[in-house]
Chains A and B, each alone.
Chain A
Amino acid sequence: METDVKLTKLASCAGCGAKVGAGTLVQLLEGFRTHKDPRLIVGYDRSDDASVYVLDENTALVQTTDFFPPIVGAPYLYGQIAAANALSDVYAMGGEPKLALNILCVSERMEDKTVQEILRGGYDKVYEAGAIISGGHTIQGAEPIYGLAVSGFVHPKKVLTNSGALPGDRLLLTKPLGIGILTTAAKADLVEAPLLDRVYRQMATLNKTARDIMVQYPVHSCTDVTGFALLGHSYEMAQGSGCTIHIQTDQVPWHPEAYEFADMGFVPAGAYRNRNYAEKGVKVVGQVPRALQDIFFDPQTSGGLLMALPEEAAKDCLAELQKRIPEAREIGYVTEKMDADIYLE
């Protein structure tokens, strides 16, 4: 095991929890001048995972970037997680990553070896994805930051946006929730090593397998569950699709230990931001305990894919997913628009 230099001590907030709230972003991005181009089929007027630009009838370019301060103390692991998280946005569009650029900020307090280990983590993950790191940019700053700008390709007719869900669709999720709460509790040294290892491995796992299986089925809509949490990303999918998303709370996969840590007050600030953003669209049916709601609002770093597809296909797709990703679950379904964007039931 590599030496743990406690990179997290250099960071003021962790992983995707560092993301600026969705509500704030929408306000910040209002009213700027942009060229109109019909080839830009997914742009930032839509709250999606990546932008998509059509090159020719068979090829569209997918572009995205993601970076954050250290979420783990071990630099190699941090590099892997940051890279897996950045690559995920391409997978969430149904695409394949091809080129990546490093985005790196080093603080004076970091040794060269630490910086190298972060980069090695990134290179190894990008290699595993079958993509190439072709350059990057490094600056100095108070807090370490690492991530990637990623370009990939997708067939223009097979782009999976977060706004294509249809009534009758079933929802699949490929990674269990609770990452933000567990990494917050880890800062208090309360999470036992075997669980923490599982959590780290989960974050470093590419969504490539999930994507490769997903594209063999008639999926209508996909997004990855990251900083805005299950409910924030579901809210965007419901709004974008003009549907209501029903989450069957007893079907959602989550790390059981996160429940008590939420009750113990280890709820990251990002979960409160997500609640403020999405709560207006959520209707709770029956009793959903506060701690479980926190898990649904919990920002995930390098979370799983959330996909919407017709019932019959969902059954087959889930069976196929579970052969490689045992944690994958069907977590709900989609109906016509009702009086709320999301039903928690």
Chain B
Amino acid sequence: MKTVDARGLSCPEPVILLRKAMASKESAYTVLVDNAVSKENVTRAAQHQGYKVSVSEKDGEYTLSITR
């Protein structure tokens, strides 16, 4: 499983990082973001690629678990 740390980045950087990471076609990824817009956009990017997404939030930081 690959982790993408996109904290401190704003749109569209987190989506770009996830897309690069997804080139390796793994079955699961974890993405860290620190704003609601990135959470939404990364979720949609992952769903568009056919992945399922679950989100947990702690102190304004979001952890997105992305699985096939």
Contact = CB atoms under 8 A, between A and B. Distances in A.
A268 B12 CA distance: 7
Interface string A2-29: 0000000000110000000000000000
B58 interface: no
A185 B37 CA distance: 15
A269 interface: yes
B36 interface: yes
Contact of A272 (B15, B40, B43, B46): B40
A302 interface: no
A188 B15 contact: yes
Interface residues of B, number: 16
A82 interface: no
Contacts of B40: 265, 267, 272
A263 B44 contact: yes
Nearest to B14: A265
A264 interface: yes
B45 A265 contact: yes
Contacts, number: 45
Nearest to A273: B37
A187 interface: yes
Contacts of B48: 263-265
A267 B39 CA distance: 11
B42 interface: yes
Nearest to A263: B48
Nearest to B19: A188
What is the predominant secondary structure among interface residues of chain A facing chain B? loop
Interface residues of A, number: 15
B27 interface: no
A268 B15 contact: no
A272 B45 contact: no
B10 A265 contact: no
A12 B11 CA distance: 9
Contacts of B42: 265
Nearest to B45: A265
A254 B46 CA distance: 24
A19 to B, nearest CB: 15
A267 B10 contact: no
Contacts of B12: 184-185, 187-188, 265-266, 268
B19 A268 contact: no
Interface string B14-43: 011001000000000000000011001111
A309 B46 CA distance: 44
Given A187-B16, A188-B16, A265 B36 contact: no
Contacts of B46: 265
A59 to B, nearest CB: 44
Given A263-B44, A263-B48, A268 B11 contact: yes
A34 B41 CA distance: 42
A160 to B, nearest CB: 34
Contacts of A266: 11-12, 15, 41
27 contacts: A13-B10, A184-B11, A184-B12, A185-B12, A187-B12, A187-B16, A188-B15, A263-B48, A264-B15, A264-B44, A264-B48, A265-B15, A265-B40, A265-B42, A265-B43, A265-B44, A266-B11, A266-B15, A267-B40, A267-B41, A267-B44, A268-B12, A269-B10, A269-B11, A272-B36, A272-B37, A272-B40
Interface of B: 10-12, 15-16, 19, 36-37, 40-46, 48
Given A264-B48, A268-B12, 16 more contacts: A13-B10, A184-B12, A187-B16, A188-B16, A263-B44, A265-B42, A265-B45, A265-B46, A265-B48, A266-B12, A266-B15, A266-B41, A267-B37, A267-B41, A268-B11, A272-B37
